[in-house]
Homo-oligomer: A and B are copies of this chain.
């Protein structure tokens, strides 16, 4: 009642893994030393391991958007035709970046909450055999929708285009088999399933994508992927690295390896499933019922209720930060995150709180109905007969 713990429950920054946070305290070191080189190399090597790829993985001191820009400025040339899949605010970010660099855009647009289908991408590739790339989100964080990257990648792999996947909230919440499916660039960010603060991003880059880098004529300096990849192999960064974040990442990656990436994904998927069932039990509608992802579940506020009252209620009554909708979705939806360091105890508490917030804002629900739905998903997964 009077104690309200500050709980960060957004789809990024996500809750911090405490040993990773504590590891940042060791950043009283210099980055051009053998000690730090080992940390850097361990991060790159562990990133490759958890992403299950032999491709180069290039870390950048940037948020995910910086890595998105780097993929454009390093692997494309002025006037290149590209297919841009847009189904939310982050799809729009691809649109903005490719426009800023003067690429010729073929935009495949779906309404918020929807997803661009593999068939649409296949059709666009057939209609644009000169397309040099396809840009997409694995998980569209703004709506909670996921794209069928496996099917889309198989289409793109059969062409000369490269597939650039913003996996910023997709990594760790849905399978992304880079080499098997044919993903050419996969982008991730530290403050997502990696459980550490914002400030680091990385790209896994296929040979097919690298082949584009030499010819790329777009302006770049700080985000120089070739230079960064070469340095990373030697445990170095081109510029001063964010040492505290690398120390945190090293610790978080140890934890993720100890769990296993498949289990981390399963964890998010179970929480997402439980959240969907809780929403149904509480008479709430999903914003992306057709292609729900497991990074975050966007739930529509009941008719006549601004979703902001739920978001504010979480903060004011329970100290918890949850996400509202972005842009035009603000006020329409609220978002329950699952990616990274989230567990069922978090969800029990969030749903119990949500029930009280719904009631206090005029949407009657049966107390405990949502929590019970979450408990049932847990019990089924844990082999507890209820």
Interface residues of A (CB under 8 A from B): 1-7, 18, 25, 259-260, 263-264, 266-267, 270, 317-320, 341-346, 348-350, 352-353, 355-356, 359-360, 367-369, 371-372, 374-376, 378-379, 381-382, 384-386
Interface centre among A320, A355, A376 (most CB of B within 10 A): A355
A273 → chain B closest CB, angstroms: 11
Contact sample, A vs B, 21 pairs, CB 8 Å cutoff: A2-B259, A2-B266, A3-B259, A5-B345, A318-B344, A319-B343, A319-B345, A345-B350, A345-B353, A348-B348, A348-B353, A348-B371, A352-B375, A356-B378, A356-B384, A359-B379, A360-B384, A367-B379, A367-B386, A368-B368, A368-B372
A2 and B352 contact, CB distance less than 8 A: no
Q: Which residues of B contact A6 (CB under 8 A)?
A: 18
The distance in angstroms between the C-alpha atoms of A264 and B259, with both chains bound, is 37
Contact A1 B375 (CB under 8 A): no
Query: In the complex, what distance in Å separates the CA atom of A321 from the CA atom of B48?
Result: 34
Cβ distance A21 to chain B, nearest Cβ, rounded Å: 9
Interchain CB contact (< 8 A) of A349 among B25, B264, B341, B345: B345
Minimal beta-carbon separation of A267 from chain B (angstroms): 4
B residues near A270, Cβ cutoff 8 Å: 1
Count identical subunits in the complex. 2
With both beta carbons as reference points, the residue of chain B lying nearest to A385 in the complex is identified as B359
Q: Which of B320, B367, B371, B386 contacts A352 (CB 8 A)?
A: B371
Q: Is the CB of A341 within 8 A of B372?
A: no
Query: Given the complex of chains A and B, what is the CA–CA distance between A127 and B376 in angstroms?
Result: 60
- Chain B residue, CB-CB nearest to A274: B1
* A317 CB contact (under 8 Å) in B259, B341, B369, B382: B382
Distance, CA A3 to CA B344, complexed state (A):
8
Partner of A356, one of B266, B320, B369, B375: B375
> Bound complex: CA of A352 vs CA of B348, how far in Å?
6
Which chain B positions have C-beta within 8 A of A25? 25
Asked if A5 and B352 sit within 8 Å, CB to CB, the answer is no
In the assembled complex, the CB of A35 is this many whole angstroms from the nearest CB of chain B, namely: 20
A342 contact set on B, CB distance < 8 A: 3
A3 to B256, CA, bound (A): 10
- Is the Cβ of B368 less than 8 Å from the Cβ of A375? yes
Q: Name A364's closest neighbour in chain B (CB-CB).
A: B386
A13 to chain B, nearest CB (A): 15
Q: Which B residues touch A348, using CB under 8 A?
A: 348-349, 352-353, 371
